[in-house]
Amino acid sequence: MDRFSQLTDDLLIKILSFLPTKDAVATSTLAKRWLSLWTLVPRLNFEDRWVDIEETNEVRLIVLPAHFVSGALLLNRSPVLERFHLSRAIECSASEIDLWVRIAVDRFVRDLKISFVDDFHCLIRLPSRLFRCETLETLELRKVSFLDVPSRFSLRSLRTLRLLSVKYADEESFVRFISSAPVLENLAVQGCSDDNVPTFTINVPSLLSLSVRNILQDPGPCHHLYVIHSHSSLKHLEIVNEFGDVNVIGKMSKLVEASLPTLEDQVTALESLTTVKRLSLTLDGVAPQYPIGNVFFQLVRLEFRGCDVKWSDLLVHVLQHSPVLQILKIIVLYDERSNFNRNVEDDKVCWIQPICVPECLFFHLETFEWREYEGAETQKEVAVYILKNARRLVTATVFPDSLRGGQRRVFDELEFATRGSRACELTLG
């Protein structure tokens, strides 16, 4: 306590702002000076938490009472409420959520989060004044259901919006919500079963970053269509779509970074990414037909994950159509050595060298990295081919699969392989 006594009130309040509100309130018992410091904290974080009980060796859920949340909000005297985060493991009444959000809005809240973390969706009622809030910059809703979206409203300061496993009244409610923010820059959308939105239409000209996720977390049907209208402002795109389709309309001319972790159903999206500079691809499931004529003229960094027997074919296609690639990172999660794969797919696991060496290997590739390297025949042939033909390679790093033995052996097999670059240093990661 002697050290803290030397600090100013402003600095102590800043320290308290990084604590969960429950812990910040608890400091009021330390000394008279601390009695009301927590009431000036501009960031409130109410979170139900699982804690370890050492005496009984149990894990117990600590739930914040609703009256604690209400009291802390009403007693807070900060001029501006920078953040109000609510993460609950139990349901709340719609009237409680309505009250807490109204208080936060009246305190000029900038960052608002309402999240439910268990296997249910909580029906909430968002107060009308939220849809007129001029100070709100960040909004996150997770596992909530709401039916009352006004026909007209404007969140004129909102720049970041995350709608994760939200249930809407209909498709139009979703469209109105994301279209209400004229300066929206970052949007994350995650679908869920029974969300009443078969088609998510995303057409926001101001977007800089877009994340679309459709993963199976809830029981029931979870197939969605995402229609993404491309605009020149978009620079970052992530698509994780395990159960549905994606339709990208137009070219993304200013896109810098993109991630397509489930490529099987995203071929049309790939066709719109020709100007991307950093790309993460995962081949999972049936190998797609690589879009003919698709050239990544500006791609300098590629992270490739192969989870399918045809992973080497797609890798070659991407390399042949990425003339200025400088950084290549590979992870192959398809185990061609397993008994299952050997009995069923062994005749399909093969490496056919391309007729022409990809231009990027001759003139631009400088960094090569392979993680979870097993040293299987196909992997070794691909790695040796890259080392042999990459004329400007500076560093090559191999991270052997830690679950397999013989790490030094698989490294030595590459160490003695011919290298196209004298400057290349091969290291064991």
pLDDT in tens, 246-286: 888 888 888 899 988 665 555 566 777 888 999 998 876 54
**Helix axes of 407-415 and 377-389: crossing angle, nearest 10 degrees:** 30
Quick check: helix, strand or coil at residue 396?
Answer: strand
Instruction: Give the mean model confidence (pLDDT) for residues 14-23.
Output: 90
pLDDT in tens, 187-233: 999 988 788 888 999 999 999 999 998 876 544 455 778 889 888 89
Residue that wins the pLDDT comparison between 346 and 386: 386
Q: CA-to-CA distance for 287 and 183, rounded, in angstroms?
A: 39
Other CB atoms within a 10 A radius of the CB of residue 144 amount to: 20
Long-range (24+ apart) CB contacts under 8 A made by 406-409 are: 406/375, 409/375
pLDDT in tens, 361-372: 999 999 999 998
Q: Which residues contact 71 (CB under 8 A, 6 or more apart)?
A: none
pTM of the model: 0.85
Cβ–Cβ < 8 Å for 1, 31: yes
**What is the pLDDT, as a whole number, of residue 278?**
95
Q: CA-to-CA distance for 258 and 239, rounded, in angstroms?
A: 8
CA distances from 355 to 300, 317, 320, 358, 361 (A): 23, 12, 11, 9, 14
Average pLDDT of every residue of the chain: 84
Cβ–Cβ < 8 Å for 319, 299: no
Q: CA-to-CA distance for 347 and 350, rounded, in angstroms?
A: 7
124 backbone dihedrals φ, ψ, rounded to 5°: -120, 160
Q: CA-to-CA distance for 116 and 400, rounded, in angstroms?
A: 40
pLDDT at residue 339 is higher than 60: no
Cβ–Cβ < 8 Å for 74, 44: no
The kind and range of the H/E element at 100 are helix 94-106
Q: Which residues pair with 199 in a beta bridge?
A: 225
The kind and range of the H/E element at 176 are helix 171-178
